[in-house]
Chain A
Amino acid sequence: MGLLATYAANMAIAIRTSLMDRTNFILNSLGMVVNDIFFLILWYMFFAGFRQVGGWGLHDVARLLGLIMMVVAISGVFFGGYRDMAATILRGEIDALLTQPKAILPRLLARESIATAWGDLVMGIWMLVTFADLSWRDIPAVLLGLVCGTTIYVASAVAYASLAFWFAGARSFARDLTDFMLLFSSYPGSIYSGMTKVVAYTLLPAGFIVLTPVAFLRAPSLQSLAIILSAAALYCVLAAAIFHVGMRRYRRGLVATG
């Protein structure tokens, strides 16, 4: 059974598990919809008072939010294990996977499907269809942005979670970093300059997750395309390398688990 087939099988189980408890599934999904609505209200009230920020109005931010909601949704449904990976490492749950033949990282990513992500999926599609002012011709660019944005988002989350191989208190910190990445991805691109721009394009790569894809949607160019694809590849390699080094520590018993 190939890697992809194993991943698909694990993921199908995870999704079925998340759907098993109907009440909780509905509660989770609706909870996320309500959360997203509150977030929209937050920005709506901001723009009602201040109209625009550096040329970005409510509709530009709605396009940005639609993309990031879709990225979080796809990550949550199909790679949901990223969310609590640091805790999984710290609880020593990797032990059970060490003796199995398949790669560990995909198994960790596929161990959970987050029910709340379905709420994000609904809201993301709704935002892109109603507010983002997109046409049918934009669909390939949107899909490319979603694939690359999701890749970078999950890769970054894996890198943050891998801090658990070094620090016992990394569970909460890894979540905080992921939340920060989301926070950065939810602000108009026009506010970033100097150091904040550097951070947004390196440590918390919101720039590559949504800002560059949004720029690509506005004005498609080979340069933007190359940047998005290169960033996706680079963050994938980085995350895999950090996880691999961490696993070497884990195998040598240098990680405090339990």
Chain B
Amino acid sequence: MLSMTPTARADLLLPGTLAAAWSAFALGVRRNLANWPILAGRAIFYLVAMAVLSALWDKVSSQRLAGTLASALPDGGLTLYIGVTEWITLSVASIHLRLEDDIRLGMLEPHLLRPKSYIVQKVAESLGDTLGRLIGIGAAALVALALSGHKLPPLQAFAYVAVLGPLGAAIGVLIYTNVGLAAFWVRRVLPPYIITQKIWFLLGGLFAPISLYPLWFYRAAVVSPFAASIFMPGNQMIAPSASAFAVELVAQLAWIAALSGLIALIWRAGLRKVLREGV
């Protein structure tokens, strides 16, 4: 540190790091919006996925089999709930692939000589990428909702989801960042990625609210980051509530802090390994 120039030292200070992260974030948003054909494709497939999942739940609701959970389904069905959970999951950028490439192909080393933190820059860029997707897919979702003639929830539900949705997606980015950092130890991050994704679907309640499942399952799932990521925003569409919103907001912020801390720990451990043993 003694040999470090004053300029480099200043760059490591928090305002400099935040400014660089903000630039990376803005770059992520702009790049995503500039790649509009891909974004349009994602929006189309969001609508297709929604059509399939709505078909699944319409089928279940129309049967109303006695002695099943069909009677516990909300009156308006689960279309709006799934609309939110799918919006979030499809918007999360694939940061794990970028990290895998950089770590496995030895492209990380040049970044280590630079004054800005590689991992902060990558996460910020992916958050920007995610926001671009949230905007594109969200716009498609709102247009489709308006055209569908579906009964709308109260306006405050949309306000709650507008806050909890992006934070939920940020949790998703942080979860996948932790997955991507596994590349320090495993050749491909596909196994941890797909396992994490399925746990996310299961504990997050991607296809059905976790509140429909047995109580023991709900209690275990609701305290996980996966539920904070998608169940909590989605649930506001079924049962909007200001008090629940406040609790969920605190839970999301707590998970963002915890997952960021975990990333810092894994990043340092991974760097130590690379500097000691190479890739």
| A residues in contact (CB < 8 Å) with B | 21, 24, 27-28, 30-32, 34-35, 38-39, 41-42, 45-46, 49-54, 87, 114-116, 167-173, 175-177, 180, 183-184, 187-188, 190-193, 195-196, 199, 204
Contact = CB atoms under 8 A, between A and B. Distances in A.
21 contacts: A28-B191, A31-B190, A34-B195, A35-B191, A35-B194, A38-B195, A38-B199, A41-B202, A42-B207, A45-B202, A46-B208, A53-B63, A116-B188, A116-B194, A167-B37, A173-B38, A173-B41, A183-B49, A190-B59, A196-B48, A199-B48
A175 B51 CA distance: 20
Secondary structure call for the B interface = helix
Contact of A21 (B93, B187, B191, B201): B187
A170 B52 CA distance: 24
Contacts, number: 114
Interface residues of B, number: 43
Interface string B25-64: 0000000000101100110010011011001100110010
Interface of B: 35, 37-38, 41-42, 45, 48-49, 51-52, 55-56, 59-60, 63, 65, 67-70, 90, 93-94, 97, 101, 186-188, 190-192, 194-195, 197-199, 201-202, 207-208, 212-213, 217
A50 B70 contact: yes
Contacts of B93: 172
Given A50-B68, A170-B38, A24 B188 contact: yes
B114 to A, nearest CB: 20
Nearest to B97: A172
Contacts of B56: 53, 187-188, 191
B189 to A, nearest CB: 10
B65 A51 contact: yes
A45 B52 contact: no
